[in-house]
A = this chain, B = another copy of it.
Amino acid sequence: MAQSDTVTRILDTAEALFAEKGFAETSLRTITGKAKVNLAAVNYHFGSKKALIQAVFARYLDPFCEQFNAELAALEKRGSVTLEELLEVLAKTTISVPASKGSLSVFMRLLGLAYTQAQGHMRRYLQEHYGQTFTRFTNQLKLCTADLPDAERFWRIHFMLGSVVFTMSSLDALRDIAYNDYDEKTRIKDLVARLLPVVTAALKAPVPEPLVASD
């Protein structure tokens, strides 16, 4: 077997299986079996299953953050960015980075799993490695939505994060329904096109009257 093509095969297979079934439900034997690689290879090359999971994420997020940071730097230098422009940059980066076809939906599903499924180590990993880029983005977002109270913005960011992650996570199932019920062949591009006005409107929605505490 050439070089360590083994590593790539493990990553590719693990990525697909994780996205399909979840982390705990995917065994190393299933991965190595499908990848036609020896069982011990995972522990040899990655050290453990946890480390393999993180490696799958790193392969996506490292190039994404690199490009997104560059885009953000350009925006910061320019100054006075509109909300639409900022979101457009985010969407553009998200779409353009993934290498192989259909890999974006796979990764989004992984991201969703990491947030909802992993009980801690994955969230911590994501925060430690990519938290800085996220903060940089939210700082920029704050400039675009200056009239939003900080707490309100905080919650709305997570509302929207939920929209994206959840939808992308269930993309295949939803796409099937959309095709059966509405004859729509939804591509990622289309989904982003649908998502952008919704997210924009959500972030610009009127702020509710602060409720007076009663308990």
A147 within 8 A of B: no
Contact A198 B205 (CB under 8 A): yes
- Binary B-proximity of A165-193 (CB < 8 A = 1, otherwise 0): 11101100110011001101111011101
Contact A170 B190 (CB under 8 A): no
* Contact for A25 among B24, B112, B174, CB less than 8 A: B24
A116 within 8 A of B: yes
- Count copies of this chain in the complex: 2
Which residues of B have CB within 8 Å of A22?
Answer: 24, 117, 119
Distance (whole angstroms) from the CB of A125 to the closest CB of chain B: 15
- Binary B-proximity of A187-214 (CB < 8 A = 1, otherwise 0): 1011101111111111011111001010
Which residues of B have CB within 8 Å of A159?
Answer: 163, 166-167, 195, 198
Number of interface residues of A (CB under 8 A): 62
* Contact for A158 among B170, B181, B215, CB less than 8 A: B170
Contact A205 B201 (CB under 8 A): yes
Contact B177 A167 (CB under 8 A): no
Interface core residue of A22, A123, A150 (most chain B CB under 10 Å)? A22
* A interface with B by C-beta (< 8 Å): 20-22, 24-25, 109, 112-113, 115-117, 119, 123, 150-152, 154-156, 158-167, 169-170, 173-174, 177-178, 181-182, 184-187, 189-191, 193-202, 204-208, 211, 213, 215
